[in-house]
Structures are given as C-alpha cells and as structure tokens.
Amino acid sequence: MEKKAGNLIVISGFSGAGKGTIVKKLIEEYDNYELSVSMTTRAPRPGEVHGVHYFFSTDEEFEKIIADNGMIEYAGYCGHYYGTPRAFVEQKLAEGKDVILEIEIQGAQKVRRQFPSAVLLFVMAPSAKVLHQRLTGRGTESEEVIRGRMWRAVEESEEVDTYDYVVINDDLEECVKQVHGIVTAAHARPSQNQEFINTIKQELKDILKGEEEQ
C-alpha cells in the first residue's frame, strides 16, 4: 500500500502553558513527529538558536517570503510577525510524518481553512495563577511583556471553542500521552483512510461478482 500522508497537528495555547515542553517530549518519545520551525521578527531570547527555536528575521525578509507565497500562514502577535514556512511542512507531510505547528490562534484558523483535516489542540495551564507564575518564573521578560501576554490569554480564551481538543497541562507525562493518543485516533478517521476504504469496497464487489459467475 502507498504511504499515507501525515497529519498536520496544530498546538496552540496560552503563552506559558507549556506547549514547548509538551512538543519537545512528544518528539523525544515517539518517532512519527516532525516539528516545523517558525520564522519570527521578535528578538531571540537568551539561549534561543537560529534555525532550532525559530528562524529570526527582519520585517523586510519576512514580508518578502509572504509575497513569494512561502508561508502556509502568518500572524501578528504582541507586535511581531510569526509564520510557518511552507516547503518543510509540505515535504514532511508527503513523507508520512505528523507535522506539529506550535502556533497562535489566528494562524491556527488559517491552517484549518487550508487543511480541513488538520487536528487542532489547545493547551491550557491548570489555572490562571499557575500561568502567571510560569510566565514570571521564566525571568526572561519584562513585567510589561508579561502583562501583554496575560491580556492576550484573555482574548484567546474566547476562541478555545474553535479547537478540536483541549488539553490541560497539569502533569506533563500524562499530557504528552494524551496528545499522542489524540493524534493516533486522528489517523483512524475515515478521511485519513480513503484509499483503504475504496480498496475494500472494490474487493467486496469483486468477490460477489466472482460468486455470481460460478
């Protein structure tokens, strides 16, 4: 049988909900995932590496890629551009990999329109207090940036209903297992198995035809 195309997995969630850690674990623990590295115009945080965490770019470079149709989606978030480069995602999906996009809500909706079978997950911290503590505890952002991200979480909480699944990041291991379970189930949808279903339909008819001819 021909190799099936992979699923596009969109993981969104409040900044500080732990999406990054979940994604890292998923990739370490299972071998069917590929993570798309996004492009952004925000400055690197300490320890972030170009090409690993993000492709860091200027506004001009980013806008050129948009103009060349090189982004699957892009969005403005807290004053900066963020986008998903197209080529990597299309290649890995064709290879049968489940490609993870860790992106915010506007981008997720654009992906939904282009890839109706994408699986959209929203990760939440167990409480607003925990979220605030995680953002403050990073120690990499100013109070103003943290407040901006908390306000953004308020806006995003209005849109959670547009996702397919909500995952609460209380216990990391449980959360990773749950996400992998959702992705595994998504592979069992009829839309992901059309070729197999068509083959069975044909085989059934062939058998019945053979019996009639006897």
Residue ranges that bind ligand 5GP, judged by CB under 6 A = 15, 38, 42, 73, 75, 77, 82-84, 102-104, 106-107
Report the nearest approach of ligand 5GP to the CB of residue 206 (Å).
47
Under 8 Å between Cβ of 183 and 9? yes
Q: CA-to-CA distance for 154 and 174, rounded, in angstroms?
A: 26
Report the nearest approach of ligand 5GP to the CB of residue 189 (Å).
25
98 or 102, CB closer to ligand 5GP?
102
34 or 102, CB closer to ligand 5GP?
102
Round the CA-based radius of gyration of the chain to a whole number and report it. Answer: 20
6 or 16, CB closer to ligand 5GP?
16
Residue nearest to ligand 5GP (CB): 107
Q: Comparing C-alpha atoms, which of 210, 204, 131 is closest to residue 168? A: 131
Under 8 Å between Cβ of 7 and 192? yes
103 or 167, CB closer to ligand 5GP?
103
C-alpha separations of 73 from 53, 102, 137, 153 in Å: 18, 12, 31, 20
Report the nearest approach of ligand 5GP to the CB of residue 190 (Å).
29
Q: CA-to-CA distance for 163 and 141, rounded, in angstroms?
A: 28
Report the nearest approach of ligand 5GP to the CB of residue 180 (Å).
19
